[in-house]
Amino acid sequence: MAGEPQSDCLFCKIVVGDVPATIVRETATTVAFRDINPQAPTHVLVIPKAHHTDAAALATEAPELAADVLRAAGEVAAQEKIDEAGYRVVFNTGAGAGQTVFHAHAHVLGGRGLEWPPG
């Protein structure tokens, strides 16, 4: 069922502490932690604690939680001091776009020049 923890989900395991992560921010409904394979000087993943497979499912199944994730992404950017220079929030959606973990997550990327359009 949407929102329920999934025993085979890496990010559900990070939420409960079964898999360690470098957590930089936590709210009642979200967790933000450093990506294990950073693509920029600042690369933080912001996830809802509840399991939803991707951003679109999250927004459909739990719109207020989707807003919490976006708000937390902005708070992380400010905390990491990349907000003034500018940063990118990315939701890879589907394997063809590079999604490898099917628990919705926002990549918050900054601290270097960011090309547009992205690759």
- Just list the catalytic residues: 105
Give the count of residues interacting with ligand 5GP (CB under 6 A): 14
Q: Kindly report the three-state secondary structure assignment for every residue of 37-76.
A: CCCCCEEEEEEECCECCCHHHHHHHCHHHHHHHHHHHHHH
Spatial distance between the Cα atoms of 13 and 33, rounded to a whole number of angstroms: 13
Q: Which does 87 bind (CB under 5 to 8 A by kind): Zn ion, ligand 5GP, none?
A: none
Q: How far is the CB of 54 from ligand 5GP (least distance, A)?
A: 9
Minimum separation from the CB atom of position 27 to ligand 5GP (A)? 18
Closest listed residue to residue 102, CA positions, set 112, 110, 113, 91: 91
Answer for which of 29, 53, 79, 99 binds ligand 5GP (CB under 6 A) is: 99
Q: Which does 51 bind (CB under 5 to 8 A by kind): ligand 5GP, Zn ion, none?
A: Zn ion
Peptide bond into 5 cis (omega under 30): no
Asked if residue 60 lies in contact with residue 76, where contact means CB atoms within 8 angstroms, the answer is no
Strand 106-110 to strand 30-34: parallel, antiparallel, or no bridges (unpaired)? unpaired
Among 15, 24, 30, 33, binds ligand 5GP (CB under 6 A): 33
Q: Which residues bind Zn ion (CB under 5 A)?
A: 6, 9, 11-12, 51, 103
Q: Which residues bind ligand 5GP (CB under 6 A)?
A: 10, 19, 21, 33-37, 45, 92, 98-101
